[in-house]
Chain A
Amino acid sequence: MRSFNQARWEEKLIFELSKQGRIGYVPADVEDEIRKEVGNIYDHFPKDLIRKDINLPEVSQLQVLRHYTRLSQMNYGVDLGTYPLGSCTMKYTPKAVEDIVNDERLKNLHPLQPVETVQGVLEILYELEQYLKEITGMDRFSLQPPAGASGELTGALIIRKYHEVNGELGTRTEIIIPDSAHGTNPASARMAGFRVVEVPSDENGCVDVEALKSVLSRRTAGLMLTNPNTLGIFERNIVEIAKMVHEVGGLLYYDGANFNAIMGIVRPGDMGFDIVHLNLHKTFSTPHGGGGPGAGPVGVKGFLKDFLPVPLIDFDGEKYYFNYKLKHSIGKVHTFFGNVAVLVKAYAFIRLMGGEGLRKISEIAVLNANYLMKKLEKLRGIELPYAKDTPRKHEFVISLEKLKKETGVAALDVAKRLLDFGIHAPTIYFPLIVPECFMIEPTETESKEELDYYAEVMEKIISECYSDPQIVLNAPHNTCVGRIDEAKASRPATMIPSYKWLTKKASNR
């Protein structure tokens, strides 16, 4: 076992480091001629609008640098070790790609510049769209949605607009979503004004086709599906499902969160999906940044291309331009053109990998997941729910319910104990249909040795659960803080959402 101890700096809040008169960066001065000509700048504003004081910290540059460097040491990322969060695809994000976007001619580009001055970036975005079309089997992409959930909302709004144009919005009020779906699916459908109808999974962990039949109707606006689903199981009836949804006049939406499993092997467009979103920060390896930014481009089949957000990027044979002429466009979902720096990173990643590399990514991601699953499913107290003989794709779900019954140690406790060994916990308690579950996505960039280590640690923790459960129940021990009082954190009487609140300067209402 590797010994691991996360840094524990007793770091104050940046506000508490403040000392009057200090500064970490001095903005450039304006020239005296400007001052002279303008006079006192405060004379140009009404007196009662002028701010008296502002409570920002006063700290030196080195203090700021040390403060945030110390905080970084109290954080964990893929660069430090295995981070197998299911459905999050926490894989290695190549440093070359970071260097590639560190280019003044991208960074300093303003989104409202005349189109003739931004041909380079438009060329990259245009080519990226062509690649995404080929990879997914769709006909047009909008690169605008800045995250997966934004892509889902975009897709749901396209479904809405499509039925509106067909004069059917009044009746098509329902979006069907499997019970294994990501929480963003129902939330996005509801934001788009739909009623959410849940369809159960069958004993194989796939959408229950009979149950689906019974909820499909003239009220169906669409079905949102992740394939492979959150159990890591490929929806083998997808062609039939697509046919059923289309027969009642609904549209089929592909949630691309799990796309890392199937690149170059099978395409959503060929499965019968009408709308697709991809999470570039997952499949195309742009860094997750502690929660974002990401990018969630949306692709559609030809009959829906006029519904995409404006503008699209087109090429007239000589120059690239923004196309705002989309008859049924849902409008804009981002103030400008989406998270362009993230899009350029994904472009660079695709060029590094090529078509062959993308297929290998999916093959090995699936190999790694099945390998780790085999090693974990035989451990005491662990069960594999659903279709035992079906290979999983890029991720798999195991249940620790038996372990909990036998030892009193819950999935949460085991997750916390994993942290003590310098590895990150998987996604826990999701999907909701499996009790006490771990959802594990190792990704293609973990070596066999790392996977073996993960399995070895799991084996050790499980033996602790049976022999010395307290050590697991009280975990983690080696992280910068121990188990956190989350209930206190969210109770209105005790919650502290800002420094201002803490210092009781906030007025009580």
Chain B
Amino acid sequence: MTATRLDEDFTSSVHVYEPHRAGLPRLGPYLRELWRRRAFASELSRTTMRAANTTTVFGQLWLVINPLLLAAVYFVLVTILRGGDSDGDFFAYLVAGLFAFYFVSGAISTGAASVVGGGKLLLNTSFPRLLLPLSAVRTAFGRFLPTLVIYMPIHLALGLPWRWTMLLAVGFLAMMVVFATGMAMIFATAQVYFRDTASFLPYFIRIWLYLSPILWYPVQVPDEIKDFMILNPLYPMIGGWSELLRGDEIPQVSWWVAGTLWAVAAFVAGSLFFMSREREFAVRL
């Protein structure tokens, strides 16, 4: 061994490559390099958004029209199902929850496609692959922000109260970002091995939408299944987010705890799973 023996990383001067099939890379150098190349993730996300919006008639506007139309359709649907018993409060709740849900599901589905869609870049360049799903989450967040701006006039028009507790909703948003990142990494890895992940994902997301407190209030859940609801990570996250944003009271402690635990668990599991597999991606694409 020479004096220059550094372990495998992506630095520009000395690299040593040694066998490692399923193990994790050394986290220190990996994370340092991930941070050093963060500009790549944000540039990729920016150009992806630019490229995706130039081909549609409404362009960027579509990012706002689409969720608004969906919210309107669901509002009509739920009003009919309830026999005409819906109010403005519910609309605000629905819009807040739906927009947040579309952020999470958007992050998961673009994240799932990120590695397989990275194609030639992966085959020809050596870089921390984790940048790809992270960039996808950034894209989804960039699409979510304008919808958040749309919520404000709705809140105002419905005459809902403005409270300082609304700011606490950021806590639940942070959980959703961390959770969505973890899920994006899990599905990005899964899609490398099973390409049909992309086709079953929409069904999975649709079912998840109905099981999350978006079209109904958490208090409406029957007592028999109430205990199981905490198994849905989005139950506390979206529930807490929508209620706080609408100006309700601060949600119970168990939601904060469950949401945080779910988010951290998804993030840790997702990043470990992704990093332990990423060196195999080049031969699996």
Do the two chains belong together in a single complex?
no
Identify the A interface with B (CB < 8 A): none
Identify the B interface with A (CB < 8 A): none
